[in-house]
Amino acid sequence: MRWEDWKPFYERIVREMGYSVEEDRKSAELLRALLLEGDEYILREELATVVGRKAYVFGAGPSLGLALEEFDFSDGTLITADGATTALLDAGLLPDVIVTDLDGRIPDIKLANDKGAFLVVHAHGDNVEKMGVYVPMFSRILGTCQTEPLDIVYNFGGFTDGDRAAFLAEELGAREIVLVGFDFGDTVGRWSKPGLREHARVWESKRKKFEFAKELLEWLEKNGRAKVEYLRPDP
């Protein structure tokens, strides 16, 4: 997704969610400084070598657990959205790429990164402190932001970790994207937040995020270069 296509979505998101563009922009600059300081950052060309033609993108929805039991994912690149990383590790799978705004289970993300998973860290106005603490801990990091892209901080479009992961996959070469654990309904999957032990009833801000994510994925299906499909286990 080009900046010109993303900009109108972003302006609506900022208005609807009450974000600050200035704080989002400053967060992107901070991420750039942290990446340069740590020198553990990678560029899109390197991450593109990891993303194959078929990519499974794992969201933290309630159907994720059953899907991991029911389906085989060995024929594609495994990309997890933040908290979904824990479910894959529990199922004995190692993600190839983790897309995070650092509000998932950090110990699991760290474990996966140490075992070779690439990290895509997203900067926004509400995770500035977390970036300062956690970015220095990780290796093989590609930086993303939601304001104008910088030289080493990219903006491939997308809002929540899940749909942003799909936009990243399409931009880096995936032509078949399979969404697993994407259930934009009334239940937030238990992997979504470190404190959640059980699936939870969706809260207002999360419902809004799901609405934007759904709209953006529809845009990607219509305008992107990849086939996008949802994979759901039999209930």
Ligand X SMILES: Nc1nc2c(c(=O)[nH]1)N=C(CO)CN2
Find which of ligand ATP, Mg ion, ligand X, none residue 124 binds, CB within 5 to 8 Å per kind. ligand X
Interaction of residue 101 with ligand ATP, rule CB under 6 A: yes
Instruction: Return the residue of 80, 113, 147, 160 that touches ligand X, per CB under 6 A.
Output: 160
Closest CA to 68 of 92, 98, 35: 92
Contact 125, 108 (CB under 8 A): no
Q: Which is nearer to Mg ion, 7 or 193 (CB)?
A: 193
Specify the pairing of strand 187-188 against strand 200-201: antiparallel
Q: Which residue has the tokens 């110990």?
A: 107
Interaction of residue 105 with ligand X, rule CB under 6 A: no
Work out the burial of residue 56: count CB atoms within 10 Å of its CB; fewer than 13 is exposed, 13-18 middle, 19 or more buried. Answer: buried
C-beta neighbour count of 202 within 10 angstroms: 17
Contact 60, 81 (CB under 8 A): yes
How many residues touch ligand ATP (CB under 6 A)? Answer: 25
Site pattern 161..180 for ligand X (x: CB under 6 A): x-------------------
Find which of ligand X, Mg ion, ligand ATP, none residue 187 binds, CB within 5 to 8 Å per kind. ligand ATP
Instruction: Return the residue of 65, 95, 125, 181 that touches ligand X, per CB under 6 A.
Output: 125
Amino acid at 122: H
Return d(Cα 105, Cα 194) in angstroms, integer.
5
Q: Which is nearer to ligand X, 58 or 74 (CB)?
A: 58
Find which of ligand X, ligand ATP, Mg ion, none residue 24 binds, CB within 5 to 8 Å per kind. ligand X
Contact 40, 142 (CB under 8 A): no
Number of separate helices (H) and strands (E) present in the chain: 9, 10
Q: Which is nearer to ligand X, 54 or 208 (CB)?
A: 208
* Three-class secondary structure of residue 230 per DSSP: strand
Interaction of residue 19 with ligand X, rule CB under 6 A: yes
Residues at the interface with ligand ATP (CB under 6 A): 59-62, 81-84, 101, 103-104, 160-163, 182-184, 187-189, 192, 206, 209, 213
Residues at the interface with ligand X (CB under 6 A): 19, 24, 101, 124-126, 146, 159-161
